[in-house]
Structure 1
């Protein structure tokens, strides 16, 4: 009888444990009313349903290691610590109807390298073109909170791209304030890609981006710690030499870097082997009424580094997959509306400072 009782108790305990495990495996993380992440089996994530990825083999980690800037201790990204899926699962965005509709709306307004800017967009930043081919770019972007209306957006990003005639492939990642897209006024990290046949999208709104990290997701609210004066994110887009996939990574402050995931090379026809342009930008999208939002930290840059939105520690992966400092390249400055925004060169590790208040006379 004792044996039977012990056996029943054991089976009951195992059943409870399995039940808890099932609950944990299916757990979700709600970041706000529009944004919900669910932990999904790494090998069953929706992106693998993309027609171009039917035979894709998931790459669990890149073959390269990121070369950290000398003063990385000062500026690296911090862990978001919002989501932590179990081993073997990854956080995948659950696409609500509201999120999908907003993403499609903003997709048409995003700045596209090699093409004319979309109506109502303004940019301030730098790019390197004609000195490639390139295999990636990394930078540290100062991060800021902005008060903007629900029909406006303000970004800062790094990007790689290639274009022929009117066709363009590109990838960008950075931070964004976009109340309409994300459902709140917080500053969010994001990614965007456009590949073969003009197909692409924000984050994982459509199949394409392969999530690998179980903790760091492509898009989420960026933390802001009390008393923090120098808020920044260090990020990279880098092509893997062995596979051709384009990885994005969080370059951490005092911790190992986190490789979030990648855009498979199969998604692109012009970025399969390399990129012919890389850059770093501040960007805004005006409201339909024509009023442009603030860019950067909302103020014009000054000669003093303190108090200006800025970009520093820019590195480029050259034609030989070697990481080069920004001093090896000649950058073209881009500023399309000096009425509302400013752009000035920085000193030492700061490549440039940018930003401005926006307004209703910024131009088309």
Structure 2
């Protein structure tokens, strides 16, 4: 019911508060009510899910950073969420992720924010978690077997109330349990204890036994079949101050010995595949609202009809 882990240094917490959350009765957990169409989508989407382990899906565009200097035991970051206008056949994500791959077979876990009307049936911002494991199987959230929800107050998936003037921030932490090998999702916050939502059992994966080979963070979009790409981040290029575009901050990883370091301590690959529509600018250690940002970068862009394939 609780992971065994080394606590991360938490300099900033979530701006998303669990207001008026009622704890589920003992023996029960909060689970999103799933319709038949929703369950069908949950099983179909993993086949075409956008993950930066390989950028070969038509209409996929990425702006972020990643490191292949694993093995890694975890990753966390301060993730930015903002309301965007996304069409029904488009999707826009802000996510942390980790993965391993051999001969085109991929193990992958991600978490963060998404706007995906084709999946959720609306254009709201949602928190989410996703996995893909052995035999190509995978799933969002708790729509099918995989993620084990443990928290009685915080579901892995929920719509997020976004202020029209202020973004929301989430600090997800994906990490491997030292004793069991399971992969936990935790929301880090300034108050103890942190929110341990649940875990993906190690049995779902066949390339994660000794950690993940790759970790990364960034924005990802999926264009409509017509070729129109949606906005990413807050829809603005990172060509102004750090407050004008979307941001990832305090990006920390756990190495093979569960030691915490900034992702910039390792070799980093910058991913921007469509600079005419999206951009990325790496920052340095600064302060924002009395919070030390650590390693951070601004990202995003407006999208459009000429972003490429």
Query: Structure 2 length normalisation: TM-score?
Result: 0.92
Runs of 4+ in 1 over 6 A off after TM superposition: none
Residue 213 of structure 1 aligns with which residue? 151
Question: Please, which of 234, 238, 260 is the counterpart of residue 301 of structure 1?
Answer: 238
Give the CA deviation at 1:333.
0.3
- Do 1:290 and 1:360's aligned partners in 2 also have CA atoms closer than 8 Å? yes
Across the two proteins, how many residue pairs are aligned to each other? 301
2-structure distance, mates of 1:334, 1:226: 29
1-structure distance, mates of 2:157, 2:86: 19
Give the CA deviation at 1:113.
4.2
Greater radius of gyration (CA): 1
- Do 1:123 and 1:283's aligned partners in 2 also have CA atoms closer than 8 Å? yes
Aligned counterparts, 1:147-296, within 5 A: 147-224=85-162, 229-254=166-191, 256-296=193-233
C-alpha offsets along residues 313-338 of structure 1, whole Å, 9 cap, x if unaligned? 00000010112123322211001101
Residue 288 of structure 2 aligns with which residue? none
Structure 1: gaps of 5 or more residues: 1-59
Residue 117 of structure 1 aligns with which residue? 56
Structure 2: gaps of 5 or more residues: 286-293
Residue 100 of structure 1 aligns with which residue? 39
Question: Please, which of 342, 349, 355 is the counterpart of residue 300 of structure 2?
Answer: 355
Task: From the superposition, tell whether residues 351 and 223 of structure 1 become closer, same or farther in structure 2 (CA, over 3 Å).
Answer: same
Give the CA deviation at 1:196.
0.8
Give the CA deviation at 1:197.
0.8
1-structure distance, mates of 2:298, 2:283: 6
Question: Please, which of 27, 35, 48 is the counterpart of residue 88 of structure 1?
Answer: 27
Give the CA deviation at 1:81.
4.7
Question: Please, which of 8, 21, 27 is the counterpart of residue 67 of structure 1?
Answer: 8
Q: Report which stretch shifted further, 119-128 or 296-305.
A: 296-305
- Do 2:5 and 2:177's aligned partners in 1 also have CA atoms closer than 8 Å? yes
Residue 327 of structure 1 aligns with which residue? 264
Aligned CA-pair RMSD: 1.8
Give the CA deviation at 1:143.
1.0
- Do 2:10 and 2:189's aligned partners in 1 also have CA atoms closer than 8 Å? no
